[in-house]
Amino acid sequence: MSRKDVFASLGQHGAVAADSAEVRVQKNRVRPILGSPELIQDTSRSPVGAIGQSLSEVSERSRRADDIEKRLAEGHAVVSLDTADIDPSFIPDRMPGAAEAHERLVNSIREQGQQVPILVRPHPDEPGRYQVAFGHRRLRAITELGTRVNAIVRELTDEQLVVAQGQENNERQDLTYIEKARFADKLQQRFSRDVIMSAMSVYKSDLSNMLSVVGRIPDDLIDSIGPAPSIGRRNWMELAELLSSKKLLDRAIAFTGAEEVQSLPSEERFKALLAHLKPRPKKAQADIWSSPAGERLAKVTHSDAKVEMVIDRKQAPDFAAFVLDKLQSLFEEHRSKN
C-alpha cells in the first residue's frame, strides 16, 4: 500500500501496512497511520532493542510526516479556502509556543508559499464552515499573512479527526510531553483508551503516566509553566509527585506567578520550579575532637546521610590504634543492646 492510500483508509477498521522502507526502519513495531484502534504490534520490547529502535526512528519521523502530507494531496482535490471560514479542532492540542518558531514559519510561507495542504472537515454544526484536523500552525501563519489556505476537505467523524490530528503530531514530534499529556486528557473525556492510544501511538502504560501527570498538576500551574519543550516524562512525573503535598502546591503556584520567573523561557521556568520545590540537602557539619591538653584527636563530619571520622595518626597514633581495636567490641555491645 502506498502512502497516498493511507488517507483513503480513514474509515476502515484495521492497521495500515507500512511500505517496505518503513518496515526496515520500524522493524517489528507497526504504527498504524490514521487507522485503527489496534495500536501497535510489537515483538521486540527489550530495553536495548527499544533504545536502538527509537534512535533509528527519530531521523525518520519528520521525513515521514512531510511525506504523509505531500502524499495526501495525490488523488485528492486541494481547494483554496478563506481562513475566516475555518475553526480549530474541537480538541486543542497546543499551548502557546515560542514567538520565534511562529515567526520562522510565517517567513517560510511568505517566501516559499504553502508547501503542503492542511486537512479539514466540513464543520459538523455550522454549514459553510470547516474544522481543522491538522495544520493548526500553518493556518495561524497563513491567517497572519492574509492569504487563502490550501486544504484537503474530507468527511471525518470525531474519532477519525482526533486520530488524524494525534498521529500527524506524533510523526512530527513537535508537541511537547505536557502538550501530549493534556491532549490525551481531553480525549479521554470523549473517547475510549483504545482510540486515544491509536491517535497518539502510545502504549497503555505511557498513556496512564500522561493522565496521572495531568491529573495531579492543576491546569493553571501547567499554563503558568508553559509547554517546556525539552522537559520529558521523568521530570514531569517528579514534579507531579512533589505536588502531592498541598504545601508544596501552594508554593509552586506562588513561585511561578512571580514576574521574574515568568520572564524566563518555558523550560527554564520548569527547571527553576523543580529546583525550588526539591528539598535541599543539609550541609555536612564538622566537629573537632581534642584532648584536655588541646591535642587534636579526630575530625568528625556528619550529615543526614553519613558520619565520617578522620584520625591523624601523626598527631594521635595511640588513639587511632585504640579506636580500631575497640570498633568490633563496640559493635557487639551495640548489637546486644538492640
pLDDT of 20: 32
pLDDT of 305: 74
Residues 6 or more apart whose CB falls under 8 angstroms from that of 254 comprise none
Q: Are strands 78-81 and 149-153 parallel, antiparallel or unpaired?
A: antiparallel
Query: What are the pLDDT tens digits along the chain (338 aa)?
Result: 333 333 444 444 333 333 333 333 333 333 333 333 333 333 344 444 444 444 445 455 555 555 545 554 454 678 889 999 999 888 776 666 556 667 888 888 898 888 888 888 889 888 889 998 888 888 889 999 999 999 988 888 888 888 777 766 665 546 789 988 988 898 888 888 888 888 777 889 999 999 999 999 999 999 999 888 889 999 999 999 999 888 899 999 999 999 999 999 899 999 999 999 988 766 767 788 787 777 787 888 877 778 888 888 888 888 888 888 888 888 888 888 87
pLDDT of 60: 56
Residues 6 or more apart whose CB falls under 8 angstroms from that of 329 comprise none
3-state secondary structure of 80: strand
Give Cα 63 to chain centroid, integer Å.
21
* Domain-wise residue ranges, the chain: 3-73
Q: What is the pTM of this model?
A: 0.51
Cell 495542504 belongs to which residue?
A: 117
pLDDT of 145: 92
